[in-house]
Amino acid sequence: MRRCCKPLDVLIFALALTLTAWSAVSVYAGGGERSVLHIAGGGERWILPLDRPHIQRVPGPLGVTVVEVREGAARVVSSPCPEQICIKSGPISKCGQWIACLPNQVFVTVTSAKGGDIDAFSF
């Protein structure tokens, strides 16, 4: 009778499974790195930590857009733009997420505190 798997096959399979699990944890766990919030608008720029509550008023051509940082996430709480898409987009907290208020020329994005910018997105 023939065996289904040889001992070396089992070892290789276990190694591959371990490597796959380690890769998934490394990629999706985030590594505990701190994220910061970048806000640009009205010719000014702000860099804020996401781990401390803060309210930032950002001037723009239509008026003031208010960005709130709370509980590790940032969101636009008020804006003078007509469609209010920036408010409806909800909070952001992960590296690479962003909110834009195009009519008021305000851009909010989350990046790594280390400064490693994302160079590509895939959807």
Instruction: Give the model's pLDDT for residue 48.
Output: 93
Question: Where do the structural domains in the chain lie, given as residue ranges?
Answer: 32-112
pTM for this entry: 0.67
Predicted local distance difference test score (pLDDT) of residue 32? 56
Q: What is the CATH number of domain 32-112?
A: 2.60.320.10
Q: How far apart are CA 123 and CA 110, in angstroms?
A: 18
**Predicted pLDDT at 119:** 52
Over its length of 123 residues, how does the chain's per-residue pLDDT go in tens digits?
566 778 788 888 888 999 898 888 877 765 556 789 999 998 999 999 999 999 999 999 999 999 999 999 999 999 999 999 999 999 999 999 999 999 999 999 999 876 555 555 555
Predicted local distance difference test score (pLDDT) of residue 31: 53
Tokens of 122: 């895939």
Quickly tell me which residue has 């834009």 as its tokens. Answer: 100
Burial bucket for residue 92 (CB in 10 Å: 0-12, 13-18, 19+): buried
Question: pLDDT at position 73, please?
Answer: 94
The candidate with the shortest Cα–Cα distance to 38, out of 98, 114, 102, 118, is 98
